[in-house]
Amino acid sequence: MSARKQKRSSNRSKHNASNSAAMLPPHEQKKLLGIYESRNFSAAERYAETLTQRYPHDAFGWKVLGSCLHKNGHIKKAQETLQRSLDIKANDAQTQHLMARAWYDLGEPQKALGYAREAIALEPGFAQGHFTVAEILTESDLDKEALEHALKAEELGYEKTACLFIRGHIQTKRRHYQEALNIVQELVRVDPDNPFVQNEIANLYKDLGQFDQAEAAYRKAMALDADFDVAFSNLLVCMHYNPDVSSENILDTIKQWENQFPSQPDQYQHASSSAVANKVIRLGMVSSGFRMHPVGQMILTGLERLNPGFELHFYSTNNADDDLTQRLKKVATSWNLVRHLEQDELADRIHQDGIDILLDLSGYGEGSRLRTMSYKPAPLIIKWVGGLINTMGLSSFDYLISDNIETPEGVDDWYTEKLIRMPNDYICYLPAPDAPPITALPAMSNGYITLGCFNNPAKINPELLGEWAKLMHELPNSRLFLKSGQYDSQDYCDRIRTIMHEHGISAERLLLEGPSNHRQLLEAYNKVDIALDTWPYSGGLTTCEAFMMGVPVVTYPGPTFAGRHSATHLINAGMSELVTGSWDEYRQRVIELASDIPNLSVIRACLRQFLMQSPVCDAEKFGKHFSTAMRAVWQRHCESKKPAALSLNSEGSAYFDNEKTAVSIQKPSTEGITAIDAHITQSLQSQWAQVSFNILLSNNPANKKSHDLPAPLIVSLTSYPKRFSTLPFTLQALLSQTIKADHIVLWIAHEDRECLDGNIRSFENRGIEIRFCEDLRSYKKIIPALEYYKDCFIVTADDDLYYKPTWLEELTGSYRHEKEVVAHRAHKIVLDKNGSPAPYKMWEWEYSNSQTASELIFPTTGYGTLFPPNIFHPDVRKREIFEKLSPDADDVWLYWMCRLNNATFRVTGGQPPFTTWPESQLETLWHHNVLDAGNDEKLSSLIGHYGSIFDKKNKSGQRQHPLTNYKDENFLFIIGCGRSGNTLMRKLLMEHLDVFIPPENYVLGTQIHHFLRMSNTEWPHIVQDFLNTFKSQKDFEAFGVNDISSFKKKAITWPESERNFSRLVIRLYNWLAAQQGISPKWLGDKTPLNTLNLEYILNAFPNAKFIFMERDPFDVVSSYMEAGIYTDATEAARRWKNSYLSWKKQLSHKGKNQQVLIKYEDFVTKPEETVKNIGKTFGVPKRSNNKDRKIALGDVDLLAHHGNVKKTTFTSSIGKGRKKLKSDDIFAIEKELGDLITQRSYSL
Backbone angles phi, psi at 772, to 5 degrees: -120, 145
| For the chain, counts of helices (H) and of strands (E) | 53, 32
- The HSE-up count of residue 27 (CA atoms within 13 Å, CB side) is 0
Domain boundaries in the chain?
25-243, 259-422, 442-617, 700-946, 975-1111+1149-1202, 1113-1147+1214-1244
Q: In 3-state terms, what secondary structure has residue 813?
A: helix
Q: Decide: helix, strand or coil at residue 123.
A: coil
Using the 8-state DSSP alphabet, how is residue 613 labeled?
T
Angle of helix 195-207 relative to helix 229-241, nearest 10 degrees, comes to 20
CATH superfamily of 25-243: Tetratricopeptide repeat domain (1.25.40.10)
Integer Cα distance of 347 and 315 in angstroms: 11
Strands 865-867 and 820-823: antiparallel
Q: Where are the alpha helices (DSSP H) in 266-363?
A: 294-304, 323-331, 343-352
How many angstroms separate the CA atoms of 1022 and 1030, rounded?
12
Sign of CA dihedral 535, 540, 544, 546: negative
Q: For residue 537, what is the DSSP state? A: S
Of 1082, 1110, 1091, 1092, which is closest to residue 972 (Cα–Cα)?
1082
- E-strand spans in 258-308? 281-287
Asked if 450 and 443 touch (Cβ cutoff 8 Å), the reply is yes
Q: Report CA-CA distances (Å) from 150 to 122, 211, 1017, 1160.
A: 18, 30, 64, 32
DSSP letter string, 344-397:
HHHHHHHHHTT-SEEEES-TTSTT--HHHHHT--SSEEEE-SSS-SS----TT-
Side-chain-side CA neighbours of residue 178 (13 Å)? 11
Of 904, 878, 301, 905, the closest CA to residue 625 belongs to 301
**Residue 676's pLDDT is what?**
32
pLDDT score at 1111:
95
pLDDT score recorded for residue 1130: 87
Cβ within 8 Å of residue 185, ≥6 positions away: 201
What is the model's pLDDT at position 4?
37
CA–CA gap between residue 862 and residue 868 (Å, rounded): 16
Fold: same for 25-243 and 259-422: no
Q: What is the pLDDT of residues 839-880, one digit of tens each?
A: 777 777 777 776 678 888 999 877 889 999 999 998 999 999
Using alpha carbons only, give the angle 246, 201, 495 rounded to the nearest 5 degrees: 70
Q: Alpha-carbon distance 952 to 838, whole Å?
A: 18
* Residues β-bridged to residue 773: 749
CA-nearest of 32, 25, 31, 23 to 58 is 23
Residue 634: per-residue pLDDT: 94
Torsion 986-991-992-994 (CA) sign: positive
Residue 447, judged by CB atoms within 10 A of its CB (0-12, 13-18, 19+), counts as exposed
Closest to 958 measured CA to CA, from 901, 875, 1001, 916: 901
Q: Which DSSP string do the residues of 885-954 spell out, in sequence order?
A: HSTT-HHHHHHHHHHHTT-EEEE--S---EEE-GGGGGS-SHIIIIIT-HHHHHHHHHHHHH--TTSSB-
The length of the chain is: 1244
Work out whether strand 857-859 and strand 826-828 pair parallel, antiparallel, or are unpaired. Answer: antiparallel
**Positions in the chain short of pLDDT 50:** 1-21, 666-685, 913, 919-932, 952-958, 1187-1188, 1196, 1198-1202, 1205
Q: Which CATH architecture has domain 700-946?
A: Alpha-Beta Complex (3.90)
Omega before 1113 within 30 of 0, i.e. cis: no
CATH 3.40.50.2000 holds for 442-617: yes
- pLDDT for 23 equals 79
* Neighbouring residues of 746: CB distance < 8 A, sequence distance ≥ 6: 717, 718, 719, 731, 763, 768, 769, 770, 771
Which backbone phi and psi does 691 adopt, to 5 degrees?
Answer: -60, -45
Helical (H) or strand (E) element with 424: none
Task: List the one residue out of 77, 961, 846, 1232 whose CA is nearest residue 98.
Answer: 77
Summarize pLDDT for 798-824 with one digit per residue, the tens. 888 888 888 899 999 889 888 899 998
Single out the residue of 779, 859, 784 nearest to residue 825, CA to CA. Answer: 859
Report strand pairing: 654-656 vs 646-648.
Answer: antiparallel
Q: Are 918 and 444 in contact (CB under 8 A)?
A: yes
What pTM was estimated for this model as a whole?
Answer: 0.62
Domain 259-422, architecture per CATH: 3-Layer(aba) Sandwich (3.40)
Helices (H), 977-1042: 982-992, 1004-1014, 1019-1032
Give yes or no for a contact between 79 and 65, defined as CB atoms under 8 angstroms apart.
no
Q: Which of 234, 1079, 275 is nearest to 633 (CA)?
A: 275
Q: Count other Cβ atoms within 10 Å, centred on residue 21.
A: 12
Q: Parallel, antiparallel, or unpaired: how do β-strands 1082-1086 and 334-337 relate?
A: unpaired
Counting Cβ atoms within 10 Å, is residue 26 exposed (0-12), middle (13-18) or buried (19+)? Answer: exposed
Q: What is the pLDDT of residue 1172?
A: 93
What is the phi/psi pair of residue 832, to 5°?
Answer: -85, -175
pLDDT of residue 1192: 59
